[in-house]
């Protein structure tokens, strides 16, 4: 077998050493640095992208939190304002009602006083008119001239009978 022809060994080993050293140089000077560069670049890019994604995510979360705080604040403020306005309106209504009620009470009282007065006056007049009418009727029908005092007494009795 040619494999055991020892005269070819020095040549084979020499060229093996030369070529494998050349390949080593090719790999270490060209192939490996270039591949390492592109792999590093990719790794770095992925890390950067992930980092950016992380950052954007935290920003989004912060924005959402801020938005929710603002929303809650606005809602609370709106509630407070509504309550304040409602209370003010209620108070104003109550005040106006009280005022109007007071005025009406005064007016009612005045009216009642006036009515009482007018009734009293009317009643007094009724008695007088009744006496005069009675006296007139008696003088016309009977031709009698009655004593004013007796007529008044009779009118008073008649009114009492009618419950007035």
Partner 1 sequence: MASPVEQFTIKPLVPIHVAGIDLSFTNSSLMMVAAVLLPATFFWFATARRTVVPGRLQSVAEILYEFIANMIRDNVGKEGMKYFPYIFTLFVFVFLGNMIGMLPYSFTFTSHIAVTAALAVAIFIVVTIIGFAKHGTHYLRMFFPHGAPLATAPILIPIELISYLSRPFSLSVRLFANMTVGHIMLKVLAGFVVALGIVGGLMPFAVVLGITVLEFFIAALQAYVFTILTCIYLNDALNMH
Site for partner 1, rule CB under 8 A: 1-5, 7-20, 22-24, 26-28, 30-32, 34-39, 41-42, 45
Q: Are the beta carbons of 67 and 75 closer than 8 angstroms? A: no
Which residue, 34 or 119, is less far from partner 1 as judged by CB?
34
- Please, what is the minimum distance in Å from the beta carbon of residue 50 to partner 1? 15
- The total of other beta-carbon atoms located within 10 Å of residue 135's CB is 20
Which residue, 46 or 63, is less far from partner 1 as judged by CB?
46
Which residue, 31 or 144, is less far from partner 1 as judged by CB?
31
Q: What are the two backbone dihedrals, phi and then psi, of residue 46, each rounded to the nearest 5 degrees?
A: -65, -45
- Please, what is the minimum distance in Å from the beta carbon of residue 2 to partner 1? 4
- Please, what is the minimum distance in Å from the beta carbon of residue 54 to partner 1? 20
Which residue, 37 or 110, is less far from partner 1 as judged by CB?
37
Nearest to 133 by CA among 164, 157, 155, 161: 155
Q: How far, in Å, are 86, 91, 127, 160 from residue 80 at the CA level?
A: 10, 16, 69, 69
Nearest to 27 by CA among 39, 35, 18, 15: 35
- Please, what is the minimum distance in Å from the beta carbon of residue 15 to partner 1? 4
């Amino acid at each position: 077998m040619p494999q055991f022809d020892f005269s070819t060994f020095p040549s084979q080993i020499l060229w093996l050493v030369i070529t494998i050293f050349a390949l080593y140089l090719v790999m270490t000077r060209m192939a490996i640095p270039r591949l390492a560069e592109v792999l590093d670049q990719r790794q770095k890019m992925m890390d950067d992208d992930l980092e950016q994604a992380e950052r954007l995510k935290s920003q989004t979360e912060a924005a959402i939190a801020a938005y929710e705080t603002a929303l809650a604040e606005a809602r609370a403020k709106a509630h407070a304002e509504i309550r304040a306005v409602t209370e003010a309106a209620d108070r104003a209504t109550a005040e106006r009602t009280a005022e109007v009620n007071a005025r009406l009470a005064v007016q009612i009282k005045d009216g009642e006083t006036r009515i009482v007065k007018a009734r009293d006056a009317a009643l007094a007049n009724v008695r007088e008119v009744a006496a005069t009418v009675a006296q007139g009727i008696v003088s016309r029908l009977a031709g009698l001239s009655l004593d004013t005092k007796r007529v008044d007494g009779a009118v008073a009795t008649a009114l009492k009978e009618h419950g007035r």
